[in-house]
Amino acid sequence: MLTRFRDRHQADDLVVVADAGMLSAANLLALEDGFRFIVGSKTSKIPYELEAHVERHGNHLPDGATIETTRRMGTGTKARDRRVVYQYTFTRAQHDNRAINAMVERAEKVAAGERPLKKDRFVTFTDSTTSVNWDLVERARSLIGIKGYVTNIDPTVMDGAAVVAAYHDLYQVERSFRMTKSDLAARPVFHRLEDSIQAHLTVVFAALAISREAQARSGLSINKILKTLRPLRSATVTIGTQQVTAQPRITAETRTLLTTLGWSGH
């Protein structure tokens, strides 16, 4: 698919950005055959040298700081040393800490017999005992706020901060998926014939392109744009033999939005 996309659009230099679900040796080897990539890394794969760095600096890592290292990935002749960029953010640390606290609470209830035994993190059990794995809890807390990104892009081309910023643009794709399902009602598709399904999705994606352009120009959400523009309706009133067209009332806020979107005012 990527090769066809590159050939169709004559794009000689593509960077594939993907979440941690694509982080497998086979996938990365395939991507390296003609593509550069930035892929999210799971925290559980953070190497010991970075753990030592975190233990030395602890909470003194500044917000937004990046740390770079390399990791040997794959086995045998297919093993590769790959660049890994780690970033610490205070916001992510707060989120991670809340998540860990919730998991510890569940683990304690399991250990006390107050909750059924499931595949809970931080729970260690044998044939006779169930307990909280506090060493695992401590290791998790030492890594809060840190996320890793694996890439084959040379540091001279893109530094650590740029790698992280490029990965964060993934939210734009996720945002588009949410828009197609909610604001644009792409699903469910009540069609049976392939031509009807293709037509429906074509209309939806055309609307998505227009919506994203409107968002980019105005800085507003599509929901806000729709609420602002939806009341603009004209009406034709027939009185005897005369017809009168009632023009919509355009507020200053609406006029500003229309001008931003390219309306000429006529």
What pLDDT, in 10s, does the model give residues 216-253? 899 998 888 888 988 888 889 998 889 988 888 888 88
In the predicted structure, residue 68 carries a pLDDT above the cut 70: yes
What pLDDT, in 10s, does the model give residues 29-61? 888 888 899 998 876 666 666 666 666 665 567
The beta-carbon contacts of 212-215 under 8 Å, at least 24 apart in sequence, are: 212/176, 212/179, 214/261
Q: Which residue has the tokens 């190497």?
A: 47
In the predicted structure, residue 100 carries a pLDDT above the cut 90: yes
What pLDDT, in 10s, does the model give residues 132-187? 889 889 888 888 888 889 999 999 999 999 999 999 888 888 888 787 777 777 77
Residue 70 contacts by C-beta under 8 Å, 6 or more apart in sequence? 81, 82, 83, 84
Which pLDDT value is given to residue 81?
Answer: 85
Cβ count within 10 A of residue 155: 13
Selected residue with higher pLDDT from 42 and 103: 103
In the predicted structure, residue 99 carries a pLDDT above the cut 90: yes
Give the C-alpha separation, 144 to 89, whole Å: 9
Q: Is the pTM of this model over 0.75?
A: no
In the predicted structure, residue 101 carries a pLDDT above the cut 90: yes
Which pLDDT value is given to residue 165?
Answer: 92
Contact 150, 71 (CB under 8 A): yes
What pLDDT, in 10s, does the model give residues 11-35? 888 899 988 776 677 888 888 888 8
Give the C-alpha separation, 202 to 219, whole Å: 25
In the predicted structure, residue 210 carries a pLDDT above the cut 80: yes
Which pLDDT value is given to residue 197?
Answer: 86
What would the two tokens of residue 195 be?
Answer: 């031509």
In the predicted structure, residue 62 carries a pLDDT above the cut 60: yes
Contact 108, 124 (CB under 8 A): no
Give the C-alpha separation, 109 to 112, whole Å: 5
Of all residues in the chain, what percent carry a pLDDT higher than 70? 91
Domain extents in the chain: 1-86+145-165, 90-138, 178-228, 233-260
Q: What's the mean per-residue pLDDT of the chain?
A: 84
Contact 49, 35 (CB under 8 A): no
Which pLDDT value is given to residue 240?
Answer: 87
